[in-house]
Structure 1
C-alpha cells in the first residue's frame, strides 16, 4: 500500500469512527441523485449513534398550499396539532401565511440503523419519489430513503392512492451535545440563499451556536449547504415561533442587548407620524402634477422600460380585455407607501453624495450607503404603487428586496438591496465587453436555478399569482456570491389562478426577442410568458450571445437552431460550437444537452405545452446536483 493510499485509509477510518460515535454527516447535493443510495453520506437517514434511542425533536416546514394550516401540516408530518399550535403561538384552527417557517414537534426514534420519524403517505397520480421528497416534504426526506423503504413499489410507476412509508429526517442528541448543555435537535430545511451563519442567527435565542452546529453536521467554516437538505441545529431551550429572529438578506448584525426604551419608541412614532404627513402632502401634489401633465401630453404606462423595449398596438379582441391603466390615484399611492419605510430626500442625498456621478450605477440607479448598509436607489416617474405593493408582499431571496421609498419634487425614489456583482448582462458577453468577467458552468446553472425559483415563487406563492413580463439579462442582478435576483417589476401584473388561465390586453409592452408569440400576436397574458422568456434567457446564459446575434451568426431561427442542437447524431458537436467561448470547452456536454431540452420545451409555440416553473426548478436542481459532482471530480483530477 502506497503512502497516499495509507493516508486515505487512515482518514476514512477516522471519519467513519467519528460519525458512528459522535456527529452526523451533512448529506450535501447527493440527495437529488435518486438512483444511487449514497449510504455512507447519511442520505438514508441520520445514524443511530446516540445514547437515547428515542427523543423529542423538531422539524421546520414552510407553509405552502395545501399544507398551510395547523391541521394539514400536523396530518402530513405526523405531529400533535395541539403541540404544533403551541410552539407556533397560534390556535389549532389557524392557517399560516405563504412561506411562513413553521416549527413541527415530533417524536424521533431509532429504526434499525437510522433515526427517523415514520409516517404513512398516500400517493397521487403523477407522483415521483423525487417530487414527494423535495416538493411535498420540501427535503424532510430523500428520494433514496423512499426508494429503500418502499422496495415493493416500482420507482417508475407510482400509482395514485398507494400507501408508502415515509421516514422523516430527525435526530437525537449525542453525549457530547448533552454535556455541552443542549436539550433538543432541530432538523432545519435549507432553502436557496441560506448559510449556516444565517440559520444559526435565527435560532440564537434558543441557544444555537455556530461552532456546535458545524460540528453536529461535520461541516467546516464556509462549507456550502444546498436547498432540499436538512441541517441539524442543537438547541438549549425549546424553540418557539415568537422567539425566532427574522433573517436578513446579508449576514445579520449582532442584536442589541436590550430592546429600545419606551421613550425611544415614542420618538419613533412621532417621527413616523411627521414623515407620513409630509409624504401625504407630497402625494397630493404629485397627483395634481401628474393629472395636469397627462392633459398636456399622453404617456404610456411603462415609461421605465429600458434597452430594446418597445410598444405596439395589439389587435382588438372580442373577448373581455384586462383593465391595465396608467392612472394614478391618491388611494393607490398612499396605501402602498404606508407599508414600506419612508426615507427623507436628505437621507438619500447623504447616501449618494447628492446623487454624484461617481455613485451612478446605470441609467437612473445610484449606489448609496444608508445606516452602514449598501443600497441601490432608483429614481422613477409615474405610478409606482403596483410595483411597491407587489414587492412589499413578496419575501424571497431570489427577488430583489425593496427596503423603502421617497417622494421628492414629482419623482419617486425606490431603495433596493444592493446587488454587488451587478446585472447578469455584464457577465455574459462573448464580444469582450464583459471585461474579462467570466462565469463558470456551475455558476451559470446556479443562477438559472435562482431565477427559476424566483419565478416559481411569483407564479405559485404570491396572492394572486403574478407574471414578471420583462425577464431578461439586464433584469437579473447578482449578489456578492453570484446568486441571481430578479429585479425591475415595473411591468409585472397579476395572472389567473388556474394552470392555462390567461387574460387579454391591447397594451403590448416588453423587450424585443423575449416576448412569447401568443402575447406579441394576440395579447394573451399568462405565467407561460415568463416561461418563454426564461427559455431565451437560458440560451443567452449558455451561449454568451443575444438571440438576435445567434440568428445572424448561424443564419437560423430558433426552431431550426434547436433542431440541430438536439439532433442525435451531430447535435453535441453543434452545441459545443454554440457554447460561450469563455467556458473554453470546460463544461459537461451531456448536461448542456439537457439544458437545451429544457430550452426547447420553454419555447414551444403552444403555451399550454410549456412546462411550469415548478417543473423547471426540479429539472434544474437535478442538473445543478450533477454539475456540482462534475465540478468536484474535475477539481480533484
Structure 2
C-alpha cells in the first residue's frame, strides 16, 4: 500500500523532531498585528511544536465576563466540553461564575503545522477587530498575529456576521519536561498586578520549572505584561481552589508628597485647618458608627423573623420527604449497564415519584450520526464543515481515551451508530459496553470477537488482538461514511461490498479525484472542493492500512483534521 500523499502530513511529521526544552515568552510583541510568525516561528504568534507529542490535554485560564459567565456560554466561546469544564471547576453545568472569576478551561491541544493550538470559532460584530478579539474577548489566549495569519480576510476587510477561526494558545510538555514529571501545561493570561513568582506559588509549580517553560532566567523576577500569556507546568490537573476572583486595581488620585519637600512654615499655617478637618472627620465617623449599629440591629431582628418562618416547612413537603424510600439498593453491573445504555451519556440527575423513579441524562437531540447519514432528507443538511467538525469531535474523544484517560482505553465499537449528535451537531462517542482498558500493556486479547461487519480491523477480526489501532481503523470507516453518505457495507452491482475496500481502490487509482467526485455524497459534490474531500479520503485510507503499526495515532489524526479544517475555512467552503 502506498503511503499517504498529503503534503501537510509530511511537513507535520518533519516538524515534530524539534524537542527543545522550553517555549519563549512573547512580551508585548504578542499585541502586535504585523502578521509575523506565519513562516518563521515566533512566540508572538502561538507556541511552537517542540513537545514530545503532537497532541495532548492542556488547560487555560479564562476570566468570566458579563457575556461569558455561565458554564454553557464559556464552553461555546472556547469550544470545550461543558460537562468537563463543570467537573474541573467543581460546579454544575447550570452554574454561572462571578465576574472576573478565573475559570479552568480543558482543551485538546494539537499541532496541525508548526504551532500548537486549540481551535474555536467566533462570529464577529461590525465593530470587532483582530486586535479586540485577541486582547478583549479572548483575553490574550489568542494573538492578533495568529488571527490575521489563520483567516483569509485582511484586517481592513472584516464585516459583521463573518465566522472567524480563532487559534488559542496552548502547548504540550517537551521530552525533558515529561521526564521531570510535568504532565500538563496551563496557559495563563496575565492580568494587571500579577507577578511571575506569585503565579508559580498559587498553582504549586516550581519557580525554576515555570521560568524554564517560558524561556526566562531562573534568577530574579521577570517582567510580564497584561494580555500576554505564560505557561505554567503542572504535575497534575489544576483544581478550582487555585483560582481567584480578580478585583480591579484602584489607584488613588491623591499621591502623598515626600516629607522633605514640605516646608515648616506651610505646616504651621495649615495646622488650624487640619485641626478643624480632624474634628469634622471624627464627627462623621461617630455618625457612621451610630447608623451602622442601627442597621445591624434592624437586620438582626429581620433575620430572626425570617428564621422563624423558614423553620416551619409546609406539611405536604414534609410528607413527600418522609414518603421517599431512603433504603440504599445495591445494583449489579448488568442492571446499571441496562439502565444507562452502557453509560453512553452523562447522568444529570434523578427524579422520584409515587410509582416510578427516573434517571435524567444529557439529551442528544439529533440522535445518531448513522441516522443522519442514512436519511437523505437530513444528510443533505450536513455541510462539509459540519462533517469535518464531527470527525474532529470523534477523533478528540478517541485521543482522550487513548492518551489521557487513566488507565487508557480502547473503545472497540466505533461506528456511526455509536456517535451521537447534540442540538448543535457536535458529536459524542456513545456505548462503551465493549471498551477494554490497556492498563499494564499496549495490547489485550479478546476472548470473543464482537463487532460490526465493515468496521472491524483485520487483526481484531482474525486473532482478537485489541490495541488502540483498532479504534483508528474503525474511525477511518466512519470518516468514509461522512464523505460518501453511504453505509460501511453497500450493495454494488448486485453484490455486497465493503465501503473501505471500494474507497481504497478509488484513492489509490490513477484518476482518484474524478472517481471520488462520482462517489461523494450529493451535497459534497456541490458544496465543497473535491480536493479537500480527497485529502480527507486519503487520511481515511491511512487509518485503514492492514499493518496496525503503519496507521497514524489518534493524536496525529486530530492534528491533520485541524489542518484540514483550517484549509476549508481559508478556501471559503461552507
Q: TM-score scaled to structure 2, two decimals? A: 0.49
Larger radius of gyration: 2
Q: TM-score scaled to structure 1, two decimals? A: 0.44
Q: Taking CA–CA contacts closer than 8 Å with sequence separation of 6 or more, which of the two structures ends up with the larger relative contact order?
A: 2
